[in-house]
Chain A
């Protein structure tokens, strides 16, 4: 039996690779498995190569992980284009289309000799049973269902529903194609039973979605009624979801003429008193920064989601990277602070997005959510979220007395001044990007500028004490500490689990608040640490550097960083953790000699 199964399927655009993956994903989710599915495509708009990775497990899994347990190749040229995204090892079960003409002992996988290989006439089976080679995806689903014991009933139910409109003949043809896959698997059993065990959650109803849709749903939940933006990969699905939904809640989506106009309209809507959001990716973020500065100085709430992709410039639009943290923290000119939050998985995007709206409205500030392509576009099972536990914060409006001689930017103790909006009697003021006095009137006074800067910084002081925006997992007094954020935190969490299973004393800090840097959280975490490791998907290890700017870390805290699109695997992290244990032991034996990492 298996507890964790990673399936990779690749072919060309029309092969139904993605729909095969999706029908298995839905089936497994309905059966209570924890699932993660990522998709990858060539750069062609249509056609070209397509692949998906599907991870099904009996325990929660928060990353797609590395080598495949099962590889399905509809043709080898397309399969090989995905390289490290679909790694095949000797233990991988390989299933491939017979009509590729490749002999089972001559697979075009240099240096790898998989022990279990099936050549299956997938196209011929589809044509024979469903009358069309379009049913290849159904045959694949049948093969996987047969060999690994998932989704028999629900895939068939799905077929009946999906093809109902096309008539009984089409339905039955597809059911036969699925059965043919099952029969092939029965007739050609695996050398050992690899059927998935029953999931621990035992069929508990789960949600199944991707990060972009989850982010948009969270915005609706938080009370967002205005979205302005411009299409950009890999964030566009946020705008698409809101365009389908927001009107129902009295809201508006404006597809603007450019990224600047998108966030411009959002600032306008916020000035008018509405909760407003924009979403973009790196190049759009670069364009939006001037208006982020305006919103900071004018103290207007807004949420700006950056679904990170590889950069700089156009970079790698369809690949994840964590290289926009510097930009998020230091975007726009002038002395300024804007909170930056990062979700770690699809479920987390809900909480982080709601939190972003709350912080924006409470502190009257733009808040940046740093998502990334991986969690934004991967589909994942999510345990039901209890929405009643969330508090929704609204901006503080001036009371009646405060509206007499109203001072929009009043220097209060907290630094937060009650905010009016057009339509509110007595709240009239001049909002501006130019420095202002308490009434909002333009000023060139150095003294007033200094006081306003102080106000705009000090109002965020309580934020650094928000320990609930950080999680510490593992042994709290462990000598080895990892820090990881965003989608890579899912890798670190699995590495922690593997390390603990080996008896290593390790802990993991996952910040969801990246900026401002909560100095005391890091100081406390590193107090017990002799060796530390930041794990990040960027060339520079940007969180590592930003934390170092703010906190005196022990010298033996290093970074393990890779440029985007190069998977970081739990096994690689585990290897480093083991080395760190050895290093500590060596250090103890040969003190006071310095240890090189």
Chain B
């Protein structure tokens, strides 16, 4: 299997440690929040990738998870609710040299911003989409989320949820993503590894992180439960190039906690960015100077 690496500069001489990517801003999260582990895993992955912080753009929407960019030393952009993906795509297209990360949550990413996911996947712009999925709206204090299970009682579903949850893994597989993985801060090494792999993957990479909400989450969704329940795909001998098998495993979202790379396209398709660069190169020579652009409006019969 080939692993193309477009994100890391080939001969980076500078050594980085995770601390180089951690800002001194104090997180607003509750003590014990899963997101602390996610920021640690991300900074570990970034230290291995060894791109300096100023070459990284870290975009997010709104929610507990979306605070993450501020806790790193990268150029952060904490945008509006649900729109991190389009904004991140604009950044990557405007400057393909940047390493672009997106952080989101289950509500930000699969409810208000759910419409953008399919398009980010099919467009295949080289960004890494990390969703911290805790099955609850934590920032607004405990409302139903799109990944909350049917029957779940919350302050906005006092008598139990009447709807089925979204399956983020299956959706993204169905949209045709080339890199799909899942992790939990209960397995820090594994989480840092899949984030690094996602960043190194040449194209759109999706990483669902089961990141527990200690305040409003259910007991069986906490890190302690993860440690008991999680099943390593690698240990299971899962072949990550097997799309059909990956799709089958994705169906178990909500009942099984698989960790590791679910699917990695062995032949990564051309990214949108590559297409853009080729087109720009091909068309460059036919450009008239900008100040002569109006000449095209001279009438001819």
Contact = CB atoms under 8 A, between A and B. Distances in A.
Contacts of A250: 280, 284
A342 interface: no
Given A207-B294, A221-B293, A434-B78, A268 B87 contact: yes
Interface stretch (A42-50, A71-79, A423-431, A476-484): A423-431
7 interchain residue pairs of minimum CB distance: A268-B90, A264-B86, A265-B90, A158-B301, A248-B287, A261-B86, A269-B94
Contacts of B94: 225-226, 252, 268-270, 272-274, 276
Interface stretch (A23-31, A366-374, A453-461, A570-578): A23-31
Contacts of B282: 247
Interface stretch (A380-388, A495-503, A514-522, A524-532): A380-388
Interface in B142-195: none
A155 B70 contact: no
A272 B90 contact: yes
A433 B80 contact: yes
For B284, B286, B293, B298, which residue has the most chain A Cβ atoms within 10 angstroms? B293
Given A220-B290, A268-B94, A433-B62, 6 more contacts: A228-B86, A262-B86, A264-B79, A272-B95, A291-B83, A298-B77
For A214, A247, A264, A426, which residue has the most chain B Cβ atoms within 10 angstroms? A264
B83 A264 contact: yes
Contact of B86 (A158, A256, A434): A256
B290 A265 contact: no
A201 interface: no
A217 B115 contact: no
Q: How large is the interface on B (under 10, 10 to 19, 20 to 34, 35 or more residues)?
A: 35 or more
A138 to B, nearest CB: 13
A422 B75 contact: yes
Interface in A255-291: 256-258, 260-262, 264-274, 276, 290-291
A157 interface: yes
Interface of A: 23, 26-27, 29-30, 154-155, 157-158, 161, 205-209, 213-214, 217, 220-221, 223, 225-226, 228, 245, 247-252, 254, 256-258, 260-262, 264-274, 276, 290-291, 293-294, 298, 350, 382, 384-385, 387-388, 421-434, 441-442
A27 B291 CA distance: 26
B55 interface: yes
Nearest to B62: A433
A214 B296 CA distance: 10
Given A247-B280, A268-B94, A430-B70, A258 B79 contact: no
Contacts of B86: 228, 256-257, 260-262, 264-265, 268
A385 B88 contact: no
Contacts of A226: 90, 93-94
B90 A276 contact: yes
B170 to A, nearest CB: 20
Interface of B: 25, 52-57, 59, 62, 69-70, 73-80, 83, 85-95, 97-98, 115-116, 118-119, 276, 279-280, 282-284, 286-287, 290-291, 293-294, 296-301
Contacts of A258: 115
Contact of A272 (B85, B98, B294, B296): B98
Given A214-B297, A256-B86, A269-B90, A427 B54 contact: yes
A260 B94 CA distance: 18
B295 to A, nearest CB: 8
Given A254-B93, A265-B89, A265-B90, A291 B70 contact: no
Contacts of A421: 75, 95
Contacts of B118: 257
Contacts of B97: 423
A441 B26 CA distance: 11
A584 to B, nearest CB: 44
A384 to B, nearest CB: 8
A294 B55 contact: no
A258 B118 CA distance: 12
20 contacts: A161-B301, A206-B299, A207-B294, A207-B299, A208-B298, A213-B297, A221-B294, A249-B287, A267-B90, A268-B88, A270-B90, A291-B83, A385-B294, A387-B294, A422-B75, A422-B95, A423-B98, A427-B75, A430-B77, A433-B78
Contact of A433 (B56, B79, B293): B79
A59 B293 CA distance: 26
A267 B74 contact: no
Given A207-B298, A220-B290, A434-B78, A248 B87 contact: no
